[in-house]
Amino acid sequence: EEIFQIGKKDNAASLEIWNIYSEYLNWHRKRYPNVKILDIALHMDEATPHIHVRKVWEYTDENGNIAVGQAKALEEMEVERPDPSKPVSRNNNAKMTYTAECREKMMELCKAKGYETKKQAKSAKIRVCHRKADAGKPSIITGKPKIQK
């Protein structure tokens, strides 16, 4: 699950988050056709409006059937790991490239809407950007997908 949020309790922007996410989703569907969105929910019933997104990773197996699997879906979409010269590992896999590309696209869309973005380390689970007028106040947060067991 991914969570996208704009604003805080006192300065929430539900329409703006939906517009930015819609642009992001259009890009995502073209760039990652094997990632299927299961559910998108705009939550307006909590302190800050936010969007929850659930997705599934599909690929075509050796028999031509649609199967579910993140690593094989990324491989089928030709998403490389950060350093192709090194073996696949926890710190060098295609999911890292996918996550980085998605975060960068979201930051690009934020900038286009007048938000400043704050770069964080590759391993950061949360990215924050804010409008210049709201310096220091988080405005958009994109979260790393949470895996439920």
Question: pLDDT tens digits for 89-140?
Answer: 999 999 999 999 998 998 899 888 877 666 554 443 334 444 444 444 333 4
Torsion of CA 76, 81, 85, 89, to 10 degrees: -110
Indicate if the pLDDT at residue 2 is higher than 60: yes
Comparing CA positions, the residue from 20, 22, 26, 32 lying closest to residue 98 is: 32
Q: How far is CA 52 from CA 18, 84, 85, 107, 145, in A?
A: 11, 32, 35, 18, 10
Question: Can you give the pLDDT at residue 30?
Answer: 97
- Three-state SS letters, the chain: CEEEEECCCCCCCHHHHHHHHHHHHHHHHHHCCCEEEEEEEEECCCCCCEEEEEEEEEEECCCCCEEECHHHHHHHCCCCCCCCCCCCECCECHHHHHHHHHHHHHHHHHHHCCEEEECCCCCCCEEEEEEHHHCCCCCEEEECCCCCC
pTM over the 0.85 mark:
no
* Cross-strand bridge partners of residue 12: none
Question: Can you give the pLDDT at residue 13?
Answer: 63
Question: Can you give the pLDDT at residue 141?
Answer: 41
Q: Please work out, in degrees rounded to the nearest 5, the angle formed at the alpha carbon of residue 122 by the alpha carbons of 119 and 123.
A: 120
Question: Can you give the pLDDT at residue 110?
Answer: 82
Question: Can you give the pLDDT at residue 36?
Answer: 96
The pLDDT tens digits for 4-40 are 776 566 555 667 778 888 999 999 999 999 999 999 9
Phi and psi at 137, nearest 5°, equal -105, 120
Question: Can you give the pLDDT at residue 15?
Answer: 74
Which residue has better confidence, 51 or 7? 51
Question: Can you give the pLDDT at residue 7?
Answer: 58
Question: Can you give the pLDDT at residue 44?
Answer: 78
Comparing CA positions, the residue from 21, 17, 10, 2 lying closest to residue 47 is: 10
